[in-house]
Chain A
Amino acid sequence: MDWFDSVLLEPWRHAYFVKGAVGGSIIAVTCAVLGCYVILRRMAFIGDAMSHALLPGVGIGYLLMNALFPGGFTAGGLLVGAGIAALLTSLCISFLSHSGRIAEDTAIGIVYTGLFAAGVVILTRYQQHINIDLNHFFQGDIYGVAWSDLWLGAVVGTIVLGLLIVFYRHFTLVSFDPTMAASIGLPTQLLHIALVGMIALVCVAGISMVGVIMIVGLLITPPALAYLLTDHLPRMMVYAAIIAIVSVILGLYFSEWVNASGGGAIMFMGFLLFLVGLVVAPRYGLLPAWRRRRRLVPQTDLEDVLKGALENEPPLLAPGRLNRAVRRLVADGLLEVDRPDTAPQLTDVGRREAEHILRSHQLWEGHLVQGGMSPDEAHAAAERLEHLHEREILDQFDDDLDHPEEDIHGVPVPGEREAGTDEYPDLVMSLLRQGDSGRVTGCVGDWPAGIQAGTRFTLEARNLETGNWQVRLPGEQRLMQLAHNDADRLKVELVDEKTLLAADPD
């Protein structure tokens, strides 16, 4: 508990720490919510430009106020000067980028470095009259937060958050679809200027606390992290605000412990949080994406494993990929494992799939050989091409090759078995094999003599001389001969032979 007290509670007993935490949080939350639009509208560079370009405004404001009210209150002058500088910056950028050849990012680069340079010249020339040093401009002083800074922060925060809440729909629509926004009469230019103006306001309010670079960081980093965490704009704003507060508190603790600049520590914590989020964010993080990719099993692996199981040849896959493929196939019900130490077996569905891949391989081989490729080359090529196994392609090859019953190596080609499904309704007789029984359901064109819808049949071996299909019809001794053309035209459905006999006792 001593540790808890001295490290976590002790800092809160000091006014400077509390003021820093409160002031920092006000600015950080305002920046975070506004920043959601900054990153969605891809205005990050404008934020950067705006914050730097404030320098001459601040300098001139100081000089003016000093000249008008010697030794008097100068915060007002600072604000007015900064406001003028912001206006000047956005006007110059918009003028330059619409002038023709100069692109907007180039214009931004020119304007802000130019104005910043002017600011450096003014500040260094009149150093003795302006009690703001460049170091302060860059780093801010979170532990030197004055009441006036807190008030300024609170007023700016109220204005900015108030505008963003009241005009939420307007800012969202103009950011998402400016064309539609304009078509329903929203003042798109004014809304853009309002956003730029608000960026200028938070810069003015925040620079004395966290410095010019850090204010840009607060504008961009927490919303960017929130964007990785959610797909919902209001939620993104809330997350960004929470991330901003966490960054401020963690940063303040951190700067206490290691005795470093507060503004730097805050932004550094924000950066670390972003890195953590970038890795672990559930949907858009790197780690989940990597794990999703790992879980993905290539379809070709699955098919190689199925074909391997059918042919009793282990596929050439690295053990990890093989295991993942087998696990997926078991989960999908294509393979089953009886005991852990035995090789997995094909289920009925798995066997059908595997035969389909094998058939694809054999028909591709046949097709390539028919086209003039050597059998060895064709085999190697078919190993890859077998994964292109759309029904239409395979049936075309099968037809071109005159429905071969054996492939080029003499291995039987499995018949088509998946017909009758929604995805592939039609089965024709030429795709069947010896021993298949079924019923004729239709015919494209004229019926061959002796066959009509409903005719039951059993297929015998193909006639080796003529290549004809030989069909046994129930109750007839003679085999019916069907030429290739007729067999292609007869639509059939497969029926188990026993069912066929049971249904028809004669």
Chain B
Amino acid sequence: MKPDFAIQVDHLTVSYGGKPVLVNISLDVPAGMVVGILGPNGAGKSTLIKAVMGFVPRDFGQVALFGKSVEDARGHVAYVPQRGQIDWSFPVTVWDVVLMGRYMVTPWYRSIKARDRELALTALEQVRMTDLRHRQIGQLSGGQQQRVFMARALAQQSPILLLDEPFAGVDAATERAIAGLLKQSKAEGKTVMVVHHDLETAAEFFDRVVILNRRLYAYGEPVEVLQESLLAEVYGGQLRTFSWNRKE
């Protein structure tokens, strides 16, 4: 495999309990690209992200990060989970969560170094959450919670950033903040993959767009990919929402 692609998905097939979730997906993402994964509910968007992290058992196919198989590329990936997957009443503060971004480089017998604390603090400043760092995470607004996990991912300083629905249910300020961080990550040469649900904003946020519904329907620049006829085929009955949103 060529190492100049940050993420290479090669004929990937994944199934849960005999039901195919992803079928024969092939996808090469060059380094420094911001890619949006779009598709209807149950299309396997989160599964694709998890496959890139090497968490789902593959029936067939390969996933490689910078030319290495995912199993050998641990730590290349920072992940921002969906809000619904987190136990918000867990007794950790904002600062605790951002520090988790530096756990991997800290050996078990050491405490976290001053340099790593600084990196965490910088990440916290980037999302403008320094003032709230002693808050328990459940006492933040949805947008602030999203930004804390962004900060944790930034603190990891991984070359690949995976975000699962970061724009779901956040306020306008957070949406701008996240979009800014995507741009900045790209400027730093990071490769970013984002599960996204809003077709409206896709062209604005992403360099490339993946249209997924178990199969890969399209992968390319937003203008090429976001075609009404293709979306009608992929989204089927769910397209109504889309046309209505376009105000045409």
Contact = CB atoms under 8 A, between A and B. Distances in A.
Interface of A: 40, 100, 166-167, 169-170, 172-173, 175-177, 179-180, 182-186, 227, 230-233, 235-236
Given A166-B108, A183-B55, A227-B91, 4 more contacts: A40-B91, A175-B90, A184-B103, A184-B156
Contact of A183 (B74, B85, B90, B136): B74
Contacts of A100: 17
B84 to A, nearest CB: 12
B91 A230 contact: yes
A235 B92 CA distance: 11
A195 to B, nearest CB: 16
Interface stretch (B75-83, B180-188, B214-222, B239-247): B75-83
Contacts of A232: 91-93, 136
A100 B17 CA distance: 9
23 contacts: A166-B109, A170-B103, A173-B103, A176-B90, A177-B85, A179-B50, A179-B53, A179-B79, A179-B81, A180-B79, A182-B55, A183-B75, A183-B78, A183-B79, A184-B74, A185-B74, A186-B103, A231-B136, A231-B138, A232-B92, A232-B136, A235-B91, A236-B91
Contact of A184 (B93, B104, B108): B104
B108 A180 contact: no
Contacts of B77: 183
B106 interface: yes
B81 A180 contact: yes
B224 interface: no
A176 B92 contact: yes
Nearest to B85: A179
B87 interface: yes
Contacts of B9: none
Nearest to B53: A183
A169 B106 contact: yes
Contacts of A179: 50, 53, 55, 79, 81, 85
Given A230-B91, A231-B91, A173 B100 contact: yes
Interface string B103-139: 1101011000000000000000000000000001011
Contacts of B87: 40, 176
B220 to A, nearest CB: 28
Interface string B86-98: 1100111100110
Q: Is the interface of A mostly helix, strand, loop or mixed?
A: helix
B86 A177 contact: yes
A379 to B, nearest CB: 37
A185 B77 CA distance: 11
Contacts of B109: 166
Most buried by A among B96, B97, B109: B96
Interface in B154-190: 156
A184 B81 contact: no
Contacts of A184: 74-75, 103-104, 156
Given A172-B92, A232-B93, A177 B108 contact: no
Nearest to A231: B136
B101 to A, nearest CB: 9
Q: Lowest 9 CB-CB distances: which A-B pairs, in order?
A: A231-B136, A184-B104, A185-B74, A233-B91, A231-B91, A176-B90, A183-B53, A236-B91, A183-B79
A182 B103 CA distance: 12
A179 B53 CA distance: 9
A253 B139 CA distance: 40
Most buried by B among A177, A179, A183: A183
A235 B53 CA distance: 34
B93 A231 contact: yes
Nearest to B17: A100
Contacts of A183: 53, 55, 74-75, 77-79
Nearest to B104: A184
A405 B139 CA distance: 47
